[in-house]
A and B are shown apart, each in its own frame.
Chain A
Amino acid sequence: MLSFFSLLYKEVFRVWKVGFQTVLAPVLTALLYLLIFSHVLAQHVEVYPGVHYTAFLIPGLMMMAILQNAFANSSSSLIQSKITGNIVFVLLAPIAYWEFLAAYVLASMLRGLVVGIGIYLAALWFAQPPMLFPIWIILFAVLGSAMLGSLGVVAGMWAEKFDQLAGFQNFIIMPLTFLSGVFYSIHSLPPFWQALSRFNPFFYMIDGFRYGFFGVSDISPWISLMVVGGCMLGLMLLSLGLLKSGYKLRY
């Protein structure tokens, strides 16, 4: 167990030493989105009856940042350690595969959640979305960040260079988040795109998360819970399997 806590400590410590870029920067980015989109669109859009667009936007931006930061944390930490070579210190130690995974995923979740909370607090200045069902909010934040934390572990193992990781981020993570309904309800999409969104796990995370705030959603939060939970489990099993096989870590 102590091996796990040491690795977790290292991963968390790494984030706080550069807290400015890892936490403040994403909060600032989210605030810029909020400022611009709410100014441009607030008069034209009412997604759910009685919900102001700025308020509607906040949970989506929070979730987007939680997911992106959770992913960035484990993936960039792994690739950095691989490239600088200091991953050997972890690989030489008697750390179980699940301890390895748990430490990287938990550190990612922590960063994602802290950024999410930071955005919420900063956004209160613009609008105050209600929080009708906090338990759903927490559930989706935890599951979503865990899922992207594991995805980051997989991507960090797979990538050999920073630009491969950037590609993963730009061609997979970004499109999936932007097409998941951060800025809109999928009901406002044409049928084809609506149907396509159903295959995007990020859609369920954001929809379920938003349900916790407003009590309205595009589909039942229970379905979203199953989809997100299933994806998370699948990714965890995948990363455990890869860790066990030594995929691109143990040559």
Chain B
Amino acid sequence: MPPAIDVRQARKRYGELQALDSVDLRIEQGEFFGLLGPNGAGKTTLINLLSGLALPDEGQLSVLGHDVVKQYRASRRVLGVVPQELAFDPFFTVRETLRLQSGFFGLRRNDTWIDEVMHHLDLTDKADTNMRRLSGGMKRRVLVAQALVHKPPVIVLDEPTAGVDVELRQSLWRFIQQLNRDGHTILLTTHYLEEAEALCTRIAMLKHGRIVALDSTQNLLSSLAGCRVRLKLAGNLPASLLLQVVEQTNDDYLLTLPSYQALESMLSELRVAGVEVHEMTLQQPDLEEVFLRLVGRAGH
């Protein structure tokens, strides 16, 4: 069984900028995979190389075993891409757009599937509306629908939820998860880390065109042992605890602890110092924290 996506030593340069630097990535069939990274990390560039919107300087990329350059037609047939940039053809209605896209993929009578996709994306009552008249979020739904017209086994979503309301976000994820259960491989990029945490079973983090982390979501989360405590104190934090502070605003502190056991000693030090605790909340490690640790706040 060939991997859904196989990237070997892919490099891409734009002028002086190395947008992708020797990226290796293998995604198996049926995975729900997340590609994360700050703005400009190279996520879209990697997706463009996979879809043929950009050509690699070096390296091999394949989709379900089809080389994206040499067997470009076969690889595009099994790939559905939701591009990050909103684009539409103002000459057509939603249904015409989807029919035309089906035609580009060599499908003649595709209305049953088109209707189903429109239904899942809540586009049915916009079917005969001209693309020009749709709101931004609606246009993005059509973009998703266009990527799905040929029931591609490998689906790539480049920030599909940017500018989309909560309701659609949920129905979109239900639909995509359904497709994933039916065997479609999903590759997702998003800046909403809760989404990635909830949906993706494996995650790669990209920074300056390089993969800086590649693991299951579980492993990434548990790599952050311990927990965080938010404290509101009546008084100053004892000096012995200052090293553990991550954030402070007035008498509001955020501390990291190496383990839950460390809670006890923290509390006793506070008692010894005679500092009263007004509020205390425990925080589970989340993907955002992993992300910030690996990639950094501003991506540097």
Instruction: Tell me the bound Cα distance from A251 to B51 in angstroms.
Output: 12
- A39 beta carbon closer than 8 Å to chain B: no
Q: Are B104 and A7 in contact (CB under 8 A)?
A: yes
Residues of chain B contacted by A94 (CB below 8 angstroms): 72-74, 76-77, 104-106
Q: Are B89 and A86 in contact (CB under 8 A)?
A: yes
Q: Are A89 and B103 in contact (CB under 8 A)?
A: no
**Given the interface contacts A3-B106, A6-B103, does A92 sit within 8 Å of B91 by beta carbon?**
no
Which B residues between 38 and 94 are near A, CB-CB below 8 angstroms?
A: 48, 51-55, 72-74, 76-77, 79, 81, 83, 85-91
A82 to chain B, nearest CB (A): 11
- B189 beta carbon closer than 8 Å to chain A: no
Q: Are B73 and A96 in contact (CB under 8 A)?
A: yes
Residues of chain A contacted by B102 (CB below 8 angstroms): 6
Q: Are B91 and A89 in contact (CB under 8 A)?
A: no
Residues of chain A contacted by B104 (CB below 8 angstroms): 3, 6-7, 89-90, 93-95
Residues of B within 8 Å of A, CB-based: how many? 32
Residues of chain A contacted by B278 (CB below 8 angstroms): none
Binary B-proximity of A217-251 (CB < 8 A = 1, otherwise 0): 00000000000000000000000000000100011
Q: Are B52 and A250 in contact (CB under 8 A)?
A: yes
Q: Is the interface of A mostly helix, strand, loop or mixed?
A: helix
Residues of chain B contacted by A6 (CB below 8 angstroms): 100, 102-104
- A48 beta carbon closer than 8 Å to chain B: no
Instruction: Tell me the bound Cα distance from A102 to B48 in angstroms.
Output: 25
Contact of A3 among B54, B72, B83, B103 (CB under 8 A): B103
Contact of B101 among A9, A13, A17, A89 (CB under 8 A): A89
- A5 beta carbon closer than 8 Å to chain B: yes
- A172 beta carbon closer than 8 Å to chain B: no
- A40 beta carbon closer than 8 Å to chain B: no
B186 to chain A, nearest CB (A): 17
Residues of chain A contacted by B100 (CB below 8 angstroms): 6, 9-10, 89
Q: Are B103 and A9 in contact (CB under 8 A)?
A: yes
Instruction: Tell me the bound Cα distance from A10 to B100 in angstroms.
Output: 8
A14 to chain B, nearest CB (A): 6
- A41 beta carbon closer than 8 Å to chain B: no
Q: Are A92 and B85 in contact (CB under 8 A)?
A: no
Which A residues between 69 and 91 are near B, CB-CB below 8 angstroms?
A: 81, 84-86, 88-91
- B146 beta carbon closer than 8 Å to chain A: yes
Q: Are B77 and A2 in contact (CB under 8 A)?
A: no
Q: Are B48 and A92 in contact (CB under 8 A)?
A: no
Q: Are B88 and A86 in contact (CB under 8 A)?
A: yes
Q: Which residue of A lies closest to B45 (CB)?
A: A251
Residues of chain B contacted by A96 (CB below 8 angstroms): 73
- B108 beta carbon closer than 8 Å to chain A: yes
A2 to chain B, nearest CB (A): 5
B39 to chain A, nearest CB (A): 18
- B107 beta carbon closer than 8 Å to chain A: yes
Q: Are A92 and B81 in contact (CB under 8 A)?
A: yes
Q: Are A92 and B51 in contact (CB under 8 A)?
A: yes
Residues of chain A contacted by B103 (CB below 8 angstroms): 2-3, 5-7, 9
Instruction: Tell me the bound Cα distance from A96 to B48 in angstroms.
Output: 18
Instruction: Tell me the bound Cα distance from A92 to B84 in angstroms.
Output: 13
Residues of chain A contacted by B85 (CB below 8 angstroms): 85, 88
Q: Which residue of B lies closest to A7 (CB)?
A: B104
Q: Are A85 and B106 in contact (CB under 8 A)?
A: no
Instruction: Tell me the bound Cα distance from A250 to B108 in angstroms.
Output: 27
Residues of chain A contacted by B77 (CB below 8 angstroms): 94
**Given the interface contacts A9-B103, A85-B85, does A251 sit within 8 Å of B54 by beta carbon?**
yes
Q: Are B53 and A88 in contact (CB under 8 A)?
A: yes
B151 to chain A, nearest CB (A): 14
Q: Which residue of B lies closest to A6 (CB)?
A: B103
Contact of B91 among A3, A14, A88, A95 (CB under 8 A): A14
Residues of chain B contacted by A246 (CB below 8 angstroms): 55
Instruction: Tell me the bound Cα distance from A93 to B102 in angstroms.
Output: 9
Residues of chain B contacted by A1 (CB below 8 angstroms): 106
B89 to chain A, nearest CB (A): 5
Specify which of A6, A7, A81, A85 lies most central, judged by the most chain B CB atoms within 10 Å of its CB.
Answer: A6
List of 5 A-B pairs having minimum Cβ-Cβ separation, nearest first = A6-B103, A85-B87, A93-B104, A94-B73, A94-B76
A–B complex contacts, Cβ < 8 Å, 14 sampled? A2-B103, A3-B105, A3-B106, A81-B89, A84-B87, A86-B87, A89-B87, A90-B104, A93-B76, A94-B74, A94-B77, A94-B105, A250-B55, A251-B55
Measured CB to CB, the residues of A under 8 A from B are 1-3, 5-7, 9-10, 13-14, 17, 81, 84-86, 88-96, 246, 250-251
